[in-house]
Chains A and B, each alone.
Chain A
Amino acid sequence: MTKITWDALRESQKILLLLALLLVWNFAFWLFGLFQSLWIGIFLVNFIIIVYLLHQVSLVVPPQRISTFEKAVAVGFPIILLASWELLVRGGVLNEDWFPPPTRIVGAIWHLTVHYDKYTKTSLLGRFWLIPSIFPLEGWEGVKRLFLESHVITTVIRILAGFVLGTFPGLILGVFMGMNRIVRTMLDPVISATYVVPKITILPLMMLIFDPFGETYQIVTIGIGVFFLVLINTMTGVRDIDPIFLEAGKNFGANRLQLFRHVIIPGALPFIFAGLRLGLGVGLVIVVAIEFLRGEKGVGYITWYYWEIMVVKNMYAGLIVIMLLGVLTTFGLQRLERWVIPWQREERELPEAAQG
């Protein structure tokens, strides 16, 4: 009789065995009623089995399909996570009151979107269902008013306004500091010292300077947070340009303005975009912090508000919407980056005849 070893098995056999192991292992614990107390350990082992299983699958996937496989894994794993969460709650392992299942959170988001909340005096997206009755009376002005009162749009406007407000001064000063040694030496200690201050700390100061019941102080605080990140990254980007490109630019007759337009700005763009991405993240943190503290509107505000009145699923709804905002803005920025920096796209393969 020949001994069958693991290494001697074919890939497809290994995959089937691992799949069987995963099912039997979970079923056994469920059978003996041990899931309740041991679920963290069980899921940890599940994770390891799944990793090994997918590794085996990746070995049999044909090379030209490997990117499709990776996409499927990238989409599939979060779905598995959500499904596990759902099952853990439904199975009574997780406390439903503190961890409402994903389906219920989606329901809460839907509810908050299509219903007017008399306490926060609006809904997530505004009372768009009133459009048919308001449009004949007030026209586009009325529609605009309906949307402007919404939580999501209030937050989005704050972030975008702060983002724009911080980006342009950051860009301009960053280029100057990158190009000019004297300006850099002068400003560097000031920037370094103020950069480390958590930006939310200046909120009281901003409320002192601007109307403490308006929008300006919020936008300016976000803008300052974005400003520092754009500034520092732009400066790094400009300084990172190989001096030989400046020499080449000058040698081919570029004047100062052309040097900016054709060498310095495009050369610094990858770093500038890194700064914008970081700035967006910080902008999101600041806007939520301000809405926690001072809001009477905004997604941060409803998250806080529903925690205070203990409607936990609505608190989750706010949290998820904030997450979506972050994902969408980051995605938008990525698309913009690809469009603005086409030379950074992933390396294409070189035709063989073209070598040398």
Chain B
Amino acid sequence: MALKIIAKNVTKVFPSPRGWIVALRDFSVEVNEGEFLCIVGPSGCGKSTFLRILAGLVPPTSGDVRIIPGARSEAKPINNIIFQEYAIFPWKTVHDNVAFGLQMRGISKNERDQVALEWIGRVGLSKFASSYPHQLSGGMKQRVSIARAFANDPEVLLMDEPLGALDAQTRAVLQEELIRIWEEDKKTVVYITHGIEEAVLLGDRISLMTAHPGTNKAFFDVNFPRPRDIALTRTPQFGELCHSIWESLEAEVKQAMEKQV
């Protein structure tokens, strides 16, 4: 397996009015080509910060982050984020949101219309292609965000608790949709979540982070066969794995809660 992402000893220090805050300390992770890696950690452990460092939106204070270019790519491989807050543009229609990445890359209108319409169809929003986001429900907005990222055909997909803002039922539906869409052309994914079940259901491997400042705690392999669906969550093996991850995470969560008090 070829390595796609290498992050070594990543540390991030933020300035704040009360002085310097260490958000991330010596965090290391390697992701294989086509692997679905979930990062699980307590609130405030810096997992979103790590994702933004991966995306190149913020520079790390120290350490090394690299996305290895694939055969087809230019010097800077394309990565795209699916945000928890959707972050689809309220001033663009569903169609224009989905086509946004392609438009920024200067791809012809014909081609991007075709790609956008295809992805809008794949997330089941064909009827809403010319709607504005304020006319959509939360779940539909997140579908637009997912379609926007996939339509741009990035080498690496970064998901920052993409289903965190949705209600439990919508989340279950979208989890299955995500599995289905992802299994069609396995892209390299880094998926941030604090839901253990979600991580076990979706991921090939789970990286556990410690409480603030975040660093490596443990790795878990998830060897359930694919294609997966929600029925997996009812098997005893699924419960066992979730339980052992929780045992490892519990102490960190408690520590994070104490710090907040």
Contacts and interface: CB of A to CB of B under 8 A. Distances in A.
Nearest to A254: B104
Interface string B176-204: 00000000000000000000000000000
Contact of B89 (A245, A347, A356): A245
Interface stretch (A132-140, A258-266, A319-327): A258-266
Interface in B75-118: 78-81, 83, 85, 87-92, 100-101, 104-105
A118 interface: no
A172 B261 CA distance: 45
Interface stretch (B9-17, B35-43, B127-135): B127-135
A269 B148 CA distance: 24
B101 A244 contact: no
A250 interface: yes
Nearest to B104: A253
B245 to A, nearest CB: 29
Contacts of B101: 252-253
Given A354-B127, A356-B139, A266 B91 contact: yes
Contact of A251 (B57, B128, B132): B57
Given A252-B152, A253-B105, A356-B173, A350 B137 contact: yes
B155 to A, nearest CB: 13
Dominant secondary structure at the A interface: helix
A3 interface: no
Contacts of B135: 347-348, 350
A2 interface: no
A91 B105 CA distance: 74
Nearest to A342: B132
Contacts of B52: 247
B146 interface: no
A248 interface: yes
B87 A245 contact: yes
B79 A251 contact: yes
A263 B132 CA distance: 15
A267 B128 CA distance: 22
Given A251-B79, A255-B104, 5 more contacts: A248-B87, A252-B152, A343-B133, A354-B128, A354-B140
Give the 5 A-B residue pairs with the shortest CB-CB distance, closest first: A266-B91, A253-B104, A252-B101, A248-B87, A343-B132
